[in-house]
């Protein structure tokens, strides 16, 4: 357990104040025990993966922040893989490709963990992780670890029905047999496209807003004139308007201010409400402990989760 850990080191945006304590569980059971003890002691608990879709508060986080990246056991079958939540999705995709297993070609450039990807139903280039999930082992609010079959879960665009109810600790995924060379080539092309279209040279958290049905958030933000505009150290990327980059010293409050202004302006100009894709973990505004599995969307269930 590390005390007063700088959270900006745990996110791709490089934003976030000190965590009271950060812990990297070694096993799923270990994580479950910490969760239960924290619940008994009424200490807030937070869960993060690779921090690639995450805004963390400038004031830091109270209680214990659990980081799944230490959970990375992986067991390959002929056409399946059982993999712990902290394993890198991009690495898993690459390894599947090298085995001639097709399915995760879309994921090679997504810099998150497997657990984060299941929870966000991560996707790109026309694919998502949902069709490849067979089952998920999750930690439930009462501290039990339970395996749920895919048929018991619902997935939609950047949504998994476990959100707010359980945390993903392991998943079993399936693949189709494919041509190794073609799979690897496909991934290479996807990576090349990302380099061209995304501001990967500066700290960011991927797409800030979800694409509204039938449109693109980036197109709307650009059309509203936001490319290149900044608040403090946060700037709307000149390369891709749905990315906000950290130009060096961005604070969470800069990013939030920019997001709010963009949302209002796009609503005013096009009548479309942009929903956030990035998650935001924030301190409770009351002194009571958080007893629910947090969901960290900036809007939606925020008040019931965070207050
Ligand atoms: C350059 C760049 C490109 C990106 N491109 C894409 C893309 O093409 N498609 C896409 O879908 N995403 C993309 N992303 C966003 C991000 O990589 C994905 O959403 C990823 O799945 C998040 O995983 P993570 O481990 O980083 O989650 P985190 O950022 O650590 O967490 C995100 C949210 O998920 C929760 N969470 C994390 N792990 C778990 C778990 N095990 N159980 C329950 N909840 C959990 C956290 O509490 C938080 O609410 C991109 C990000 C970047 C920086």
Domains of the chain, start order = 2-70+286-306 (3.30.43.10), 74-181 (3.30.465.10), 207-277 (3.90.78.10)
Looking at the CA of residue 68, tell me the nearest atom of ligand 1.
41
Tokens of 50: 């690779």
**Closest listed residue to residue 260, CA positions, set 209, 305, 216:** 209
Per-residue confidence band for 284, with pLDDT thresholds at 50, 70 and 90: low
Among 91, 119, 84, 131, smallest CA distance to 107 is for 91
Contact 259, 244 (CB under 8 A): yes
Give the pLDDT confidence score for residue 294 in this predicted structure.
54
Three-state SS at 173: strand
Looking at per-residue pLDDT, the higher value among 45 and 287 belongs to 45
Atom of ligand 1 nearest to the CA of 53: 29
Question: Residue 307 pLDDT more than 70?
Answer: no
* Mean pLDDT within 104-120: 96
Output the residue whose Cα is nearest ligand 1's atom 4. 206
In tens, the pLDDT along 123-180 reads 999 999 999 999 999 999 888 999 999 999 999 999 999 988 899 999 999 999 999 9
74 contacts 84 by C-beta, under 8 angstroms: yes
For the question of whether the overall pTM of this predicted structure is more than 0.85, the answer is yes
Q: How far is the CA of 243 from the centre of ligand 1 (A)?
A: 14
Q: Quick one: pLDDT at residue 176?
A: 97
| Contacts of the segment 141-148: beta carbons below 8 A, 24+ positions apart | 141/165, 141/166, 141/291, 141/292, 141/293, 143/32, 143/35, 143/36, 143/39, 144/32, 145/28, 145/29, 145/32, 145/169
Residue 166: CB atoms within 10 Å: 22
The fraction of the chain above a pLDDT of 90, given in percent, is 86
What's the start-to-end Cα distance of the chain, in Å? Answer: 26
| Ligand 1 center from residue 42 Cα (angstroms) | 27
- Check pocket membership of 191 for ligand 1, CB cut-off 6 A: no
φ/ψ (deg, to 5) at 94? -65, -45
Residue 103 has pLDDT above 50, yes or no: yes
Position 301 confidence tier, pLDDT thresholds 50, 70, 90? very low
| Maximum CA extent, the chain | 56
Burial class (CB in 10 A: 0-12, 13-18, 19+), 262: buried
Active site residue 277: yes
């Amino acid at each position: 357990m590390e005390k007063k850990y700088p959270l900006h080191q745990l996110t791709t945006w490089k934003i976030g104040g000190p965590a009271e304590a950060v812990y990297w569980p070694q096993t799923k059971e270990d994580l479950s025990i910490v969760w239960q003890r924290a619940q008994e002691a009424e200490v807030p608990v937070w869960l993060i993966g690779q921090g690639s879709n995450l805004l963390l508060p400038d004031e830091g986080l109270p209680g214990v922040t659990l980081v799944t990246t230490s959970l990375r056991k992986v067991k390959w079958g002929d056409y399946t893989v059982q993999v712990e939540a902290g394993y890198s999705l991009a690495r898993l995709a690459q390894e599947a490709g090298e085995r001639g297993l097709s399915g995760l070609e879309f994921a090679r450039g997504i810099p998150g963990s497997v657990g984060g990807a299941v929870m966000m139903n991560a996707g790109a280039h026309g694919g998502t992780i949902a069709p490849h999930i067979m089952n998920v082992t999750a930690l439930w609010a009462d501290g039990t670890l339970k395996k749920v079959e895919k048929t018991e879960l619902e997935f939609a665009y950047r949504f998994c029905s476990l959100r707010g109810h359980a945390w993903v600790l392991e998943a079993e995924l399936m693949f189709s047999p494919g041509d190794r060379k073609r799979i690897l080539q496909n991934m290479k092309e996807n990576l090349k496209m990302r380099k061209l279209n995304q501001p990967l040279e500066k700290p960011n958290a991927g797409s800030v807003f979800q694409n509204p049905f039938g449109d693109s958030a980036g197109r709307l933000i650009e059309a509203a004139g936001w490319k290149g505009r900044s608040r403090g150290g946060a700037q709307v990327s000149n390369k891709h308007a749905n990315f906000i980059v950290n130009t060096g010293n961005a604070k969470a409050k800069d990013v939030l201010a920019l997001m709010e202004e963009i949302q209002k302006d796009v609503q005013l100009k096009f009548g479309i409400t942009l929903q956030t894709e990035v998650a935001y973990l924030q301190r409770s505004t009351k002194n009571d402990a958080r007893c629910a599995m947090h969901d960290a969307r900036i809007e939606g269930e925020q008040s019931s989760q965070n207050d």
